[in-house]
Amino acid sequence: MDQLPVLLGVGGVVLLASVLAVRVSIRLGLPSLLLYLGIGVVLGEAGFGIRFDNPGLTQSLGLAALVMILAEGGLTTRWSAVKPALGRGIALSTVSVVVSIAVTGAALHWLLGLDWRLALLWGAVLASTDAAAVFSVLRTAGIGKRLTGALELESGINDAPAYIAVVVLAEGTTVDWTLPLLAVYELAAGLAIGLAFGWLGGHALRRAALPATGLYPLATVAVCVVAYSSGQLLHASGLLATYVAALVLGNSRLPHRSDTLSFAEGLGWLAQIGLFVLLGLFASPGRLLDAIVPGLVAGAVVLLLARPVSVVLAMLPFRLPWREQAFLSWAGLRGAVPIVLAMIPLSQGLPGAQRLVDAVFVLVIVLTLVQGATLGPLARRLGLAKKSEPHEVEVDSAPLDELGAELLQVRIQPGSKLHGVYLSELRLPIGATISLVVRDGAGFTPQKTSRLQENDQLLVVTTSAVRDDAERRLRAVDRAGRLARWKGESGR
C-alpha cells in the first residue's frame, strides 16, 4: 500500500511526459512511438533500474493494447474514405502478407543462415504494418484518400493473417492442405463476427436510453472488446473482428458520436503510450548492441526487397501507376505490432526467439527513423501530396426517446459548401428543422432568409423516421452545395 502513491505518481509523470512528447514528435516529423520507447528505456535497467523481463506478460498486455488501437482506428475511419480503396486494402493485407513472409524468409535463410522455420517466422513477424504508426503519420501527411484508405485498411486488417502465421510457425504446426483452409476460416469467421457485433451493437446503442452521455463511449468500446474475445474463443481472428466491429460502429448512427470518437481517440493514445513504454522497459540495451547487424539486414530486406515485391504482386489486378506503387512500398510502417508478435515465440521458449525480439527492436527504430522522416518528402517528390481537403461536416446525435425524435448537432467545417447556403435552400425533409444556430459564441433562431457560414453550429430537431434523410441531405449539400441533387450527390 505504501508504494501505491509512488507508482501512481510515476505513472502520471510518464503519461504527462508522453503527452508532451507528441508535440515534439510532430515538430520533428516522426511517429511519437520512438519517444515512448525512449522513455521506457530510460526507466528500464539501463536507466532508473526498473527491471521487467516477462515476455508472456508483455505479449498479453501488448495484445490488449493492440485491441484498443485497432478499435480506435476502426471507429475513427470514415467508410466513405476507405470504400474506394477496399480492394487494394484487402489485397495488401492478404496477398502482400503471404508474399512478404516468403520473400523475407528466403532472404534471411540465405543471409543470416537461419533454418527455414525460424527464417519464415522472422518473415511472419515482420509482415504486418503497424496501425498506430500508419494512423498517426498518414492522417497528417496530406496524401490522397485512395492511397491513405488502402494503407489504413491494410494496417487494420493485416495484423490478423500475420498473427495466424506467427502462431502456426511458433507452435510448429504441421503444414498440409488443411492449413490454408484453417487460415481462411479464421479470417472469414473473424469478419463475420465483427460485422455481427458492429451491426447489433450499433442497433442496441441507438435504442438504449442510457442515463449518462459518458456511458455511450464505454459501451461502444466494450462491444469492440467483446468482439475480440468472441473471435478468439471461437478460434477465429479476434483482431480482425475487433477492427471490423469498430469500423461498422464508427460509421453507424451512434448516439453522441463525437463524444464516443473523442473517448476512443484518447483511449487509443493511452494504449499506444502504455504499449511503447512497456516495450522500452522490456528492451535490454546490452543485447540490442549485438542485434544491430541482423536487425539492419532484416530491415534492408523488408524495406528494399520484400515490401516492394509484395506490393507489386498484390497490386497487379489494379494497375496502379508506378509512383503510387513506389509510395505504397515505402509507406509500410512498422511499429509495436512486430515486437508484440515476436513475443509469442519468446514466451514459448523457442530457440533463437530472443535474437528475433532484439533484432525487431533495432529494425523498428531504424525503419521508423528512415520512413517516418522521408514519407512526406517522398510523397511530394512523387507528386502525390495534395492540398488539405475540407473536413466533412460533423454530425452528432442525441436521442429524445420519449418524443420519438433525435437532436442533431452539426458543425460546418472550413471549406464546406454549406457556407453561403440560405436556410430555404437547404430543403431538409419534412419532420426536420433547424431550431438554433450558434455563431461566434452567440445563438439565434434562424429564419428562411438566414444564411449559413463556416464554423456555424446547428441544432437540428428531427423525427426518428427522417433522421437518416436529414443527415444525408446535410452531407450532400456539404459536398456539392445547394444544387447537390442536380449534381447527383446523395450524401451517402
**Dihedral (Cα; 71, 72, 77, 82), 10-degree rounding:** -50
For residue 309, the model assigns a pLDDT of 95
Average pLDDT of the segment spanning 410-422: 87
- Domains located in the chain, CATH noted: 54-275+285-381 (1.20.1530.20), 394-480 (3.30.70.1450)
424 has pLDDT over 90:
no
Identify the bridge partners of residue 436 per DSSP, sorted by sequence position. 459
pLDDT, tens digit (0-9, with 9 covering 90-100), for 274-288? 888 888 888 877 788
For residue 31, the model assigns a pLDDT of 63
Average pLDDT of the segment spanning 31-53: 76
Range of 130-134, 258-262, 487-491 with top mean pLDDT: 258-262
Are the C-beta atoms of 114 and 304 separated by less than 8 Å? no
For residue 193, the model assigns a pLDDT of 96
Range of 19-23, 32-36, 268-272, 313-317 with top mean pLDDT: 313-317
pLDDT, tens digit (0-9, with 9 covering 90-100), for 300-355? 999 999 999 999 999 999 988 899 899 999 988 887 788 889 999 988 888 888 99
pLDDT, the chain, mean: 84
Q: Residue 333: CB partners within 8 Å, gap ≥ 6? A: 31, 129, 130, 133, 134, 137, 155, 367, 368, 371, 372, 375
Are the C-beta atoms of 157 and 243 separated by less than 8 Å? yes
Q: Classify residue 422 by its DSSP letter.
A: B
Rg (CA), the chain: 24
432 has pLDDT over 60:
yes
Lowest mean pLDDT among 137-141, 344-348, 362-366, 437-441: 137-141
CB neighbour class for 78 (10 Å; exposed up to 12, middle 13-18, buried from 19):
middle
Average pLDDT of the segment spanning 440-447: 86
Q: Name the band, by pLDDT with cuts 50, 70 and 90, for residue 25.
A: low
For residue 450, the model assigns a pLDDT of 87
For residue 389, the model assigns a pLDDT of 54
Q: Name the band, by pLDDT with cuts 50, 70 and 90, for residue 159.
A: confident
Q: Name the band, by pLDDT with cuts 50, 70 and 90, for residue 27.
A: low
Q: pTM of the prediction?
A: 0.79
For residue 185, the SS3 value is helix
Residue in this structure with the C-alpha cell 518528402, named with its chain if needed: 377
Lowest mean pLDDT among 36-50, 205-219, 416-430, 444-458: 36-50
28 has pLDDT over 70:
no
Average pLDDT of the segment spanning 135-156: 73
